[in-house]
Each structure stands twice: as structure tokens, then as C-alpha cells.
A and B are shown apart, each in its own frame.
Chain A
Amino acid sequence: MPNPLRSLFAWLKRRRPAFLRPSLDSRSVQRILQERLARSPEAVEKGNDVLTGVRIGRRLDANLSVIRQLVGDAPDLVVRELVIAGGAGSPSGARAAVVFFDTLSHAERAASQVIKPLLYDAVRDGVQVPADPQRLADWICTRMINTANVETRADLQQLVQDLCQGKTAVLVEGVDVAIVLDLVGYDTRNVEEPMGEPVVRGPRDGFVDSLQTNLSLIRRRIGSPLLRFDRMILGRWTQTPVVIAYIHGIADPDLVQEVRRRLSAIDVDGVIDTSYIEEFIEDTPYTVFPQVLNTERPDTVVANLLEGRVAILADGTPFALVVPTSLWALMNAAEDYYQRWDGATLVRMLRYALVALVVLLPSSYVAATTFHPEMLPSTMLISIAAAREAVPFSSFTEVLLMEITFEALREAGVRLPRPIGQTIGIVGAIVIGEAAVSAQIVSAPVVIIVAFTGISSFVIPHFNVGIGFRIARFYILLLAGSLGLLGISIGLMLLILHLISLRSFGQPYLAPVSPMRWSELADTFVRLPRWLMRRRPEPVRAPTRRRRDFPAQETGTQGEGAVRASDQG
């Protein structure tokens, strides 16, 4: 059924002369708008035909009523109507309204920086208010309002959007544009040390939940003008601002383009956290291993930007995403770069050894005790055999039970308030560690192994990789329980095969070990001194591979200083 309204708007959309675009001045437009909104509220949503191209009218009352209606008479929408007063000789002042959400904007700043100038300043200074509406708008923008950021909007939808994102609008009778000011002010956390990634030595600030603050944390660290923030809006309903950050000239343009492409292909109703984005842009969705690095540390983001990677930040979350990444990068902690290289290298090796234990220790125990007892040293075999003497379960069941118990304890402890969380720890230690062993439900070696494995799993700096390895542990455990050493070997082989075939934004997941890139090995199992890490990693194009070189137009000293500052913390 042909909808005359729809075809009308479609036609209007195709032909764009301003005078032909529907303005709120027309009563019919107002009426149609009201009807449509009553029928389908989602019409407000961006991309819907109903609002597209509708202009703000000259009549203040009509504008205000439509705006009120569009936000559903929100109780937190402040509409302050006033009369612009001028000095002697001014025509009687034009009516105006300052509109903002007091939940998002700074009401006091609106009062002092917008309302007060309009009401008093012209009077005080004896300035004449122009009568012509067009000049009036310019006059307000240029003379009256003392905020840093002023724009005008003609489009109704854009205006509502801006309001919803915390901006403040000034509408004036007889003027068909709205003046939009950035007085965003809402409560956010203070910048503080990130909970999940603390360091002993190194920068202590972490991202907060406000995009603006987060970008400032990055911009502060990179003095170069070549730092780029590309902004986009994601989420049909949340309209979340998302920023792609990279350093122009270091980051591979193809990579940036690919990030942009993948982000713009996302169609989702809301982006609450960057993890929503992560799931859409991963190369391989069917895997337990994350292919995107997330961090709440601005210094980590900056270090990655300097290595030619791209960061993705979203408003409302302290977690930034970094692509591409590799397993090795996910196994590194920020601390590694701030401690001396020799200590950091040893810590890294310890970490890799412990991860190997996380994956292999329980399964090796099962395989050794149930399939290959001849491979255990005699004394160890005897003590394990003694411990197992009265245990009713098979080794495999025993380990599986204890592993599940451990995971349960951990899960129970994570989200509980701290005092109760400690209780869980105590109960776990006493009930599982002590009672189960003395009741001979499980054997002591299994408790030791599971506990050690559990502790080892905490050395993985990035929680989500830890989850991947923990799942891999169960998979290998299952194979070990059914096929012993053969199962472990085949399982490990398939696991490695899987890891090798993964990619993160086209970069092999296990690079630079497989494929081997000798110069990049300096920052994987070991961390060589910084003066030996001369080259940036692979995706960076040839001209800027050397870390000390900067793009031609860069002033050099500044950039160099930024590297130092961020590197050395």
C-alpha cells in the first residue's frame, strides 16, 4: 500500500533545497509528526524516515513543544525561557530558550555562561541587540556566549541527538537554527589506578568511564599532532560515541581502514562496553582465545599506538581495545616494560612456564598415574599410591572434581563483597583442602596439583586469555583421561594447530614465533633492553619500522620525548 506520507518524505529526501525541506513551522508537519510518533515510537531512531530532514522552525513554541514531545516530557529536561535583553536603543528583546538535560549538562555553567550573558551582559555593556533574526543568531554565537564550543544546528534530529548526549541548545524566536553548546557535565569516576592491571612501578592512572577523559589521557601522552582520533557512533539505541585512535604515519593505513570497515559494519542495538565491539570484529569467533587486547591502562594503549597498532575506545567504559594483537602480547603485563629488563625477562619466562603447567599439570598427573605409572620416579609413585589407597574415585574423576570445585570457589569469590569473599576462601581451604583429604574423598597430591594449577592461572596478566587456557586445560584433561600421553600429545598438537591458524586483524596470532620474525623476538619470551628493540613489529610499513624514525613532518624532539615518557613511565 503506497503511503503518501512516506513517498512525500522520500521525495523530499531526494531533493534537498532548504526551502522545500519540511520545517516545524508547518502545522501539517507537526501534526504528521505527532501521529507518527504516537503510532511507532522508534521513529525517533536515527535512520528512520520520519525525522530525517525535518528542520527546526522559526517559531520557538512549536520547536519547544516538539522537542518536549520527542523526549517524552522528560522530567530532567530543563527548558529555561528568557528574553534577550540589550542595551539602550535595542528593540524589545527576542524570546529565547535554553534547553538541556540537567542530568547530562552542567546546570551551573549553563546559568553562568549562557543565561547570564543573554539576560544581563548586553544590558550592562550597553550593546545593541540586532533585530534581524539571522544576525541575531550570529551575534549570540560570537558575542554573547563564552563557552569554548559553539555550533549551530538546523536539523531537528541532530539537535535532539545532541541534547541526548549532554549538549545545551539555545533556541531563539524567529531563528531557524539552534545554537548548540558543549556544557557536558556529569559525574564520572576520578582517574585512579586501574583495578585489574595494577603495577608496582609505572603510571598509576587508568581509564575511566568517560570517553572524553580517556582521550585526554592518551592525548596528554602523545604530543605529536599525528595522533588521530576517528570518531563514529555505534549502537542503534545507545548512540555510543566510539573513537579509533592511531598514529598517522606509524599505523598501517590498510589496518586503520580495515578497523573502520569492521566497525562500521556493526549493527547492534547498544554498545555498553567495548566487549560488545570485540565480539563483532574478531577474525575467528569460534575460539576460546581472545584476538583483541583490552586494557584500562592509557600507557599500554600509547605503547601499542607507538608500535603501529590501533586502539578502539567507547564512551561509558574504561576498557580500550587494541588490534592487532598476539598471544605473546596478551601474555605480557604492563609492568614488564617498567621493571628492569633482566628481571622482566625472568618473570616472563616464569609466566610461560606456569601457563604450560596450567594447561598440562592436571592432565599429566592423570596420564602418569592412570596410564604410565612406570614413568613416575619410584618414590613419588609410592607416595602417590599411598595417598590414593582409599580414595573411591579414579584419578581422572578426582582431578576433574577438584578442578570444578576450584573454579566454583573462584567464581563464588570474585563477585562477593570482600569480607564474605574471604569466608569463601577459608571455607574452601578448610573444607576442600583439609576435610576432603582426611576423609579420603580426594588424595592430597590432587589437592596440591589443583591448588598449584589454580595459583598458576592467576599469573596470566589478561583475564580473558586466562579463561582460554583454563578451558584448554579441561580439554586436554579429558583427552589425558581417555588416552593418556597419546591424548595429551594429540590434544596439544591440535591446540597448537588451532592457535597457529588464528589471526588478529590478519596478523598471525603466534607471530613473531610462528611465522618467525627474528627482530620481534626481543619482546616475546624475553624482554630485551629497550635500546635493543630497534624495530616496530610487522604490520608497520617499512619507512617507519625503525623506532627512532618518525614521519617527516614531525618535529622529532617532541615525539622522541613522548616515547621516552611513555616507555619509561
Chain B
Amino acid sequence: MHPTRARINPWQLAVLLIPGIGSTAVLGLPAITAAFARQDAWMAPLAALPASALVIWVCGRLAARFPEETFAEYAPKVLGKLPGKLCGLLLFWYFFHLDAAIAREFADFLVATAHPRTPAALAAALGGLAAAVAVRHGPEILARLGELFTPIAAALLLAIVGLAYSSMDGSLLKPVLEHGWRPVLVSGFVTQAFTGQFVLLLVLLPSVNGVPAGVKASYGALAVIAAALVLVSVVSLSVFGPLTANFVWPFFKVARVGTFGAVLARIEPLVIGFWIGGTCLKLAVHLYAAVITFAYTLGLRHWRPLVFPMGALMVAYAIGHLNNLVEHHRMLAHFWPPYTQVFQLILPALVLLVAAVRGMGDRREQGPNEGGAIQDGKEARGHGAD
């Protein structure tokens, strides 16, 4: 089945994107941004907002021009066959690489917090397995998993904040802008590497009922993610102050600190459990994106058989290539932000620009004939792909 036949409603898209992008950022991001912006790190998500919104806008414009098609399908039409396929492969590489990074983070977190003697490879493999099983069920099931997961996870997040309230000291956030805007902007750039993952929309938007509603839902998801990140940063900073940057997963430490009498003293297993769930979801969404992009770039008819091999490859890459925690976090902080910009913003924007210049796909500019031709072509392809 062609994935764009599967129908996701905008609400489902939003609740899929929230854990699909936010889950890894929630635990680790405050440490990375605090390293740059110290007590102002909570502003980083806000600083990243415009660029992330731009990513959504670009993806939305592309989806409006080429409805029901994924990036890998229209890129060759826009850029010409070879460059288009190359772009598809680049995007695939981005999803794949990101997915491996997520798997690595997943394994590292588990080993560091709950399973010190378990090999990271096993943890990553299990996460990859769960993600692959989910992906095989298709995007609709993924979206519904998000629907079930996100509200509970949000409630848990708020519960942790509530429990940690007594340990919070708002004065640790002062002085505001001690070193001016520069560090905030730098940390915003780092945050953009996370929130810019909305480039997922290149693959997901075609499956959504109504592109404009989907784009609107994505803006909503961005707002929720940004709010969650601000909240998490504020809480981490006001609990740990200057220590925040020293921890690897500050918000997890917050959960360890939080107490509510003796009954709710240990909430951290819940945090770990939910983080596993959320990260599996994120793994799954990106694995799906990678598989779809790969399959359609190469013009394959079926994408499902690719899921398990791709998952295995991804886990192998995560374990084999990304070496240790320090390297990983250094990468996340320094190499990753500029690197991901290439894929998250530049690549789609380039395609959009060329499409606009060549006047492709946009029916309002082209008149009915052109649009009809595209419609026909799509339908022919649809039959082949089924």
C-alpha cells in the first residue's frame, strides 16, 4: 500500500510529532544549551522558534504544491532526474543518521540510568526492534500510538514539575541575559537541530487529511514542543542552577530530586519507562521516514520489506560508528547543528525555490490543465505502487 493512502488527521499528526521530535530533547537539551547560555538556556527554544517555523512553512508549501507525494517522489520532477534522486538520497541519509543518533542516545540513557551492565548494543537493538515492529504497522498505527502516548506523557511531565516544585529556586535563573543575546542565539541554533526535525513533514504531510490543517497542527506541535522545552529548561535550571550543564540528562535528575512525601518519592522508573516509549516512537517515526524516502528514491514498489533490514542497519551504525557518550554529546552540541541545517532547511528550501521558479505543481499559478496532468500521473503511479 502506498503510505499516502493511509489517512492521519491533523490532531494525530500533532500528537505524533510531539513525541516524535520532543522526546529526546526533553531530557538532554537543557544540558547542551546551558553549556552555552547558562541560566538563560530556557530562552533557547524560543530563539529557535522562527527557524523551526520556517522549516514547517517550507514543508507545507512543498506539500501544497505536490499533494499526496513525498519528497523523494517530486524532487526528481523538480530538479531533474539525477539531482532529484541525489537529493532524495541526501534526505534519506539525514533520517538514517538522525535515527542512529536517537538509537545511540536511547541506549546510552538506559545504560547510564537503569541498566549499567547491559551492553548498549542490546538496548539499541531492542529499541530498534520495537520501532521496526511499529513502523511495519504503517503510519496510521504510528499516529494512533502517538495519540495514546502523548497525553499521558504530558501529564507525567507536568507531574514531575509539580513534584520538583519544592526543590526549585527561581532566583537561579537570574541574572537574565548576563552575557547578552549572543549565547542565547547560539544555544537557539543548537536547539534548532532538534526543533528543525519538523522536516519529517516532507514524508508525513502527504498522509494527512488536508495539508493546510496539517500545517496548522504542526505549528501547534511546534508551540507545544517549545513550551515543553522552555518548561523543562526552567525547571532544570532552577533546580540545578549552574550544575545543569554538568549533567548529561538534567531533567532525569530533576525527576530523581522530586519528592512528594514518602509515597511518590521515586518517580524515576516512570520517567525511564516513558522516555523509552517516547524514544521508541521517535525512532519509529524517523525509521519510517528513512524507509519511505529510500524506497521512493529508488522507485521501489513496496517499502515494508525494507523496514527490518533498515532498522538492523541503523542499529549497527549507531553502535558501530557513534562511539562514546562524550563524543556523542560533543557532536550533538557542535557538529550536529550546522550539519542538520543542510537537510532540515537548505535542502527543502532549495527544492521549493526551484519549483517556484519553474512554476511547478502550484495549481493556482498553472491553471487547470497542468494540474490535471499531474493528477493523472499520480494516479497511474498509485496503481503501480499498490
Chain A residues with a Cβ under 8 A of chain B = 364, 367-368, 371-372, 375-377, 379, 483-486, 488-490, 492-494, 496-497, 500-501, 508, 510, 513-516
Chain A neighbourhood of B134, CB < 8 A: 493, 497
CB<8 Å pairs between A and B, sample of 29: A364-B269, A371-B115, A372-B114, A372-B269, A375-B266, A375-B268, A375-B269, A377-B265, A483-B118, A483-B126, A484-B114, A486-B114, A486-B115, A488-B273, A489-B273, A490-B129, A492-B273, A492-B277, A494-B133, A497-B130, A500-B137, A500-B141, A501-B137, A510-B144, A514-B145, A514-B147, A515-B9, A516-B11, A516-B12
Interface residues of A, dominant DSSP? helix
B249 CB to closest chain A CB, in angstroms? 15
Chain B contacts to A: CB under 8 angstroms: 9, 11-12, 110, 114-115, 118, 123, 126-127, 129-130, 133-134, 137, 141, 143-145, 147-148, 262, 265-266, 268-269, 272-273, 276-277, 280
Q: Which 7 A-B pairs have the closest CB atoms?
A: A489-B276, A514-B144, A514-B148, A514-B147, A489-B273, A375-B266, A375-B269
Residues of B within 8 A of A500 (CB): 137, 141, 144-145, 148
Interface pair A490/B114, CB less than 8 Å apart? no
Closest to B127 in A: A490
Q: Contact at B265–A497, with CB atoms within 8 Å?
A: no
Closest-by-CB residue of B relative to A360 is: B273
A/B pair count, beta carbons within 8 Å: 85
Q: Are A485 and B269 in contact (CB under 8 A)?
A: yes
Residues in chain B near residue A490, CB distance under 8 A: 126-127, 129-130, 276, 280
* Given A485-B269, A510-B148, A514-B147, A501:B141 Cβ within 8 A: yes
A516 in contact with B115 (CB, 8 Å): no
Cα distance A371–B276 when bound, in Å?
16
Determine the chain A residues whose CB is within 8 A of the CB of B110 once the complex forms.
Answer: 486
Min CB–CB distance B128 → chain A (angstroms): 11
Complex contact B266–A515 (CB within 8 A): no
Q: How far is the CB of B264 from chain A (nearest CB, A)?
A: 10
From B106, which residue of chain A is reached at the shortest CB distance?
A486
Q: Are A494 and B130 in contact (CB under 8 A)?
A: yes
| Contact B11–A496 (Cβ < 8 Å) | no
Contacting residues, chain A, for B262 (C-beta < 8 A): 377, 379
Could you tell me the distance in whole angstroms from the C-beta of A509 to the nearest C-beta in chain B? 10
Q: How far is the CA of A364 from the CA of B269 in the complex (A)?
A: 10
Q: What chain B residues lie within 8 Å of A486 (beta carbons)?
A: 110, 114-115, 118, 123, 126, 276
Cα distance A514–B110 in the bound complex, in angstroms: 28
* A493 and B130 alpha carbons, distance in the complex (Å): 7
B266–A377 touching, CB < 8 Å = yes
The CA-CA distance from A348 to B134 in the complex, in Å, is 30
User: What A residues does B280 contact at CB under 8 A?
Assistant: 490, 493
Q: Specify which of B130, B272, B273 lies most central, judged by the most chain A CB atoms within 10 Å of its CB.
A: B273
A422 to B374 CA separation, bound complex (whole angstroms): 75
Q: Which residue of A lies closest to B126 (CB)?
A: A490
The interface residues of chain B lying within 8 Å CB-to-CB of A510 are: 144, 148
Docked CA distance A490–B277 (Å): 7
Residues of A within 8 A of B118 (CB): 483, 486
Least CB distance, B304 to chain A, in whole angstroms: 14
Q: Which of A364, A376, A497 contacts B145 (CB 8 A)?
A: A497
Taking a contact as CB atoms under 8 Å apart, the answer to whether B148 and A496 are in contact is yes
Please determine whether B12 and A515 come into contact, CB atoms closer than 8 angstroms: yes
Indicate which residue in A367, A497, A513, A514 contacts B133 across the interface (CB closer than 8 Å).
A497
Chain B min CB distance to A512 (Å):
10
